[in-house]
Chains A and B, each alone.
Chain A
Amino acid sequence: MSFKAKAFKFGSDINTDYIISGKYKFKSNDMKEMAHHAMEELDPNYYERVSPEGGILVAGTNFGCGSSREQAPLVLIHSNTLVVLAKSFARIFYRNAINTGLPVVECDTDKINEGDEIDVDLEGGVVRNLTTGEDIPFAPLPSVMAKLLADGGLAPHFRKHGTFALE
Chain B
Amino acid sequence: MCEAVAGGHFSSLPRKKDVIRIAGKTIAEKIFSSHSGTDARAGDIVVADIDFAMSQDGTSALAIDAIESMGADKVFDSEKVAMVMDHSCPSPLEGVSAIHAKMRAFGKKTGVHIYDWGRGVCHQLVPESGKVVPGDLVIGCDSHTCTYGALNVFSTGVGSTDGAAAMVSGKLWFKVPETQHIVYKGTLPKGVYSKDLILYLAGLIGVDGATYQALEFSGPVIDALSIDARMTISNMAIELGAKAGLMKADEKTLTFFNERAKRNGTPLVREPNPQEPDADAVYANSIEIDTSKLEPQIAKPHAVGNVSPISEVAGLEIAQAFIGTCTNGRLEDFAIAASLLKGKTVHPDVRLVVAPASRDIYLDAMAEGYIQTFVEAGASVVTPGCGPCVGTHNGVPSDGENVISTANRNFKGRMGNSDSFIYLASPATVAASALTAKITDPREFL
Given known contacts A68-B141, A92-B157, is B241 in contact with A22 (CB within 8 Å)? no
CB neighbours of B347 from chain A (8 A): none
Is the pair B158, A68 in contact by a Cβ cutoff of 8 Å?
A: yes
- Say whether B164 faces chain A, with CB atoms less than 8 Å apart: yes
Is the pair A26, B412 in contact by a Cβ cutoff of 8 Å?
A: no
- State the interface size on chain B (CB cutoff 8 A): 64
**Alpha-carbon distance between A26 and B41 when the two chains are bound, in angstroms:** 39
CB neighbours of B314 from chain A (8 A): none
CB neighbours of A162 from chain B (8 A): 1-2, 71
- Say whether A67 faces chain B, with CB atoms less than 8 Å apart: yes
- Say whether B142 faces chain A, with CB atoms less than 8 Å apart: yes
Interface positions, chain B 150-171, Cβ under 8 Å from A, are 157-162, 164-165, 168-169, 171
CB neighbours of A130 from chain B (8 A): none
B331 vs chain A, min Cβ distance (A): 26
Which of A94-102, A107-115, A118-126 is found at the contact surface with chain B?
Answer: A94-102
Given known contacts A27-B95, A68-B141, is B8 in contact with A158 (CB within 8 Å)? no
Is the pair B413, A70 in contact by a Cβ cutoff of 8 Å?
A: no
Given known contacts A41-B412, A144-B173, is B10 in contact with A166 (CB within 8 Å)? yes
Q: Is the interface of B mostly helix, strand, loop or mixed?
A: loop
**Alpha-carbon distance between A17 and B301 when the two chains are bound, in angstroms:** 14
B28 vs chain A, min Cβ distance (A): 13
- Say whether B435 faces chain A, with CB atoms less than 8 Å apart: no
**Alpha-carbon distance between A144 and B176 when the two chains are bound, in angstroms:** 14
**Alpha-carbon distance between A21 and B414 when the two chains are bound, in angstroms:** 7
- Say whether B70 faces chain A, with CB atoms less than 8 Å apart: yes
**Alpha-carbon distance between A89 and B207 when the two chains are bound, in angstroms:** 12
Given known contacts A69-B59, A144-B45, A154-B162, is B5 in contact with A18 (CB within 8 Å)? no
Which of B61-69, B228-236, B349-357 is found at the contact surface with chain A?
Answer: B61-69
Interface positions, chain A 1-60, Cβ under 8 Å from B, are 13, 15, 17-18, 21-23, 25-29, 41
Is the pair B2, A161 in contact by a Cβ cutoff of 8 Å?
A: yes
Is the pair B211, A91 in contact by a Cβ cutoff of 8 Å?
A: yes
CB neighbours of A21 from chain B (8 A): 391, 413, 418
Is the pair A41, B241 in contact by a Cβ cutoff of 8 Å?
A: no
- Say whether B20 faces chain A, with CB atoms less than 8 Å apart: no
Given known contacts A15-B411, A164-B165, is B66 in contact with A155 (CB within 8 Å)? yes
Given known contacts A41-B418, A144-B173, is B2 in contact with A62 (CB within 8 Å)? no
Given known contacts A62-B208, A91-B243, is B142 in contact with A67 (CB within 8 Å)? yes
Select B211's contact among A23, A27, A41, A90, beta carbons within 8 Å.
A90
A26 vs chain B, min Cβ distance (A): 5
Please, which residue of chain B has its CB at the minimum distance from the CB of A17? B411
CB neighbours of B8 from chain A (8 A): 167
- Say whether A142 faces chain B, with CB atoms less than 8 Å apart: yes
**Alpha-carbon distance between A67 and B303 when the two chains are bound, in angstroms:** 13
**Alpha-carbon distance between A161 and B1 when the two chains are bound, in angstroms:** 7
Is the pair B143, A29 in contact by a Cβ cutoff of 8 Å?
A: no
Is the pair B208, A95 in contact by a Cβ cutoff of 8 Å?
A: no
Given known contacts A62-B211, A71-B62, A158-B70, is B5 in contact with A165 (CB within 8 Å)? yes
Which of A91, A143, A166 has the most B CB atoms < 10 Å from its CB? A91
Is the pair A155, B70 in contact by a Cβ cutoff of 8 Å?
A: yes
Is the pair A92, B143 in contact by a Cβ cutoff of 8 Å?
A: yes
**Alpha-carbon distance between A17 and B408 when the two chains are bound, in angstroms:** 14
- Say whether A103 faces chain B, with CB atoms less than 8 Å apart: no
B308 vs chain A, min Cβ distance (A): 18
Given known contacts A65-B208, A70-B161, is B173 in contact with A29 (CB within 8 Å)? no
Given known contacts A22-B391, A62-B211, A163-B6, is B165 in contact with A158 (CB within 8 Å)? yes
A129 vs chain B, min Cβ distance (A): 25
- Say whether A66 faces chain B, with CB atoms less than 8 Å apart: yes
**Alpha-carbon distance between A71 and B47 when the two chains are bound, in angstroms:** 25
B4 vs chain A, min Cβ distance (A): 7
Is the pair B413, A23 in contact by a Cβ cutoff of 8 Å?
A: yes
**Alpha-carbon distance between A164 and B76 when the two chains are bound, in angstroms:** 14
A3 vs chain B, min Cβ distance (A): 22
Which of A68, A143, A154 has the most B CB atoms < 10 Å from its CB? A68
**Alpha-carbon distance between A45 and B75 when the two chains are bound, in angstroms:** 41
CB neighbours of B145 from chain A (8 A): 68
Please, which residue of chain A has its CB at the minimum distance from the CB of B143? A68
Is the pair B12, A143 in contact by a Cβ cutoff of 8 Å?
A: yes
A-contact bits for B382-421, CB 8 A (1 contact / 0 none) = 0000000011100000000000000001011110101000
- Say whether A88 faces chain B, with CB atoms less than 8 Å apart: yes
A-contact bits for B169-184, CB 8 A (1 contact / 0 none) = 1011101000000000
- Say whether B58 faces chain A, with CB atoms less than 8 Å apart: yes
CB neighbours of B119 from chain A (8 A): none
Select A41's contact among B4, B13, B172, B413, beta carbons within 8 Å.
B413
Please, which residue of chain B has its CB at the minimum distance from the CB of A143? B12
Select A26's contact among B47, B87, B158, beta carbons within 8 Å.
B87
Given known contacts A22-B390, A143-B12, is B241 in contact with A166 (CB within 8 Å)? no
Is the pair B5, A166 in contact by a Cβ cutoff of 8 Å?
A: yes
B416 vs chain A, min Cβ distance (A): 5
Known interface pairs A27-B93, A41-B413, A164-B6; 9 further A-B residue pairs with C-beta atoms within 8 A, sorted by A's residue number = A17-B411, A41-B412, A65-B241, A91-B212, A92-B143, A95-B159, A96-B162, A164-B47, A164-B169
Nearest 7 A/B pairs, CB to CB: A96-B159, A62-B208, A158-B70, A70-B159, A99-B161, A142-B12, A143-B12
Q: 5 A–B contact pairs at CB < 8 A?
A: A62-B208, A67-B143, A95-B158, A155-B69, A159-B69
